[in-house]
Structure 1
Amino acid sequence: MLSKINIFRGYRLTQALVIVLFSLLLSGCFTVTWVSPYDQKLVDGLEEFHKDAATFVVKMENDGSKKDSFQEFKPEYDKLMVKLDTLLVRATANSSHIDDHGMDIQELINEALADATGGDPNQFKDVSLSAAQIIDLRNLIVKWREDHKLQDRSTGVWKVRRAALGRAIVAVMTFELSKKAE
């Protein structure tokens, strides 16, 4: 009989604890940080990167189809990569502001994106969505560089790439600006 009473008390204690925790959660005592905070320097850096990358793409549309043009444009690719690496460091540093619950949610998002795109779900493990988008942007530039290294590119390809660059920048900027407090 005594053991049944102890089990009942343990059950009631657990039930009471769950009710208290749930009440605290509903009352707003717990906060969950889902995304890194708004970062004006990151936004400014993205705008500067976009200007440089768009200028580069226009040059490529005009001169990039020349035979063996990769070596001529290699310093431009390097400059873009350094800018993206700098932005990535800043975005990754801001990832530390996201709590465990926010990182869990971002992990689920990354897995869903990987399933939808056939990508690696661990590609963006432990970084903010802002950093993940910058990694995507960096991968885009790496792909351009590798393609250019392997073969001459026509003007039409660079027009498509300019559109892809614009979409990628808009995605990152929209996300960052959505975090800005009104």
Structure 2
Amino acid sequence: MKIGLYFGTFNPIHIGHLIIANHMAEYSDLDQIWMVVTPHNPLKKKSTLLNDYHRLQMVHLATEDFPDIKPSDIEFKLLQPNYTVNTLAHLQEKHPNYGFSLIMGEDNLKSFHKWKNYEVILAHHEIYVYPRLSSEEDLLKLKNHPKIHFVDAPIVEISSTFIRDNIKNGKNVKPLLPNKVWEYIDHNNFYKK
């Protein structure tokens, strides 16, 4: 089975995340998409990042109607700070019959060469890249790599920061969130201050 790993803080998960995940599940050769909720990095200021389990719960709520999209808390169990290469090694050990690929935006691909042991990742895993509004020349270095697949997914320019800021400012962001996620945020008064 081919699993696409879509990493994020999902603070909160929004329809843009679901559009990309669903597109990868439907229009690539990936069998399932795992939404990997990244825990709070203890070396970074917490600021507006919700508790790990609240963010995981929102991913559960958002994906329950999508059988090929699953929430994952795998990184909650790993030593922090953690690196993607460690997560991949852990998953491969735990699920030896699965093939794991990364899903990332073009913006992340640009800085991929700065990731810890990125050559090891590229040697053993494929990368599925969804478009962002960015310039072509930045991507030339990795554009023709045999393990990097550019997927013609919709360009979605919605950010969790935009949603948090607008909740704080009393704006209606309901259309940008799955209904159950909006209800969970509203019920718990998240992001209001």
| Same-fold call, TM cutoff 0.5 | no
TM-score range, shorter chain: under 0.3
User: Higher strand fraction: Structure 1 or Structure 2?
Assistant: 2
In our comparison, the structure showing a higher alpha carbon Rg is: 1
Instruction: Give the TM-score, by structure 1 length.
Output: 0.24
User: Higher helix fraction: Structure 1 or Structure 2?
Assistant: 1
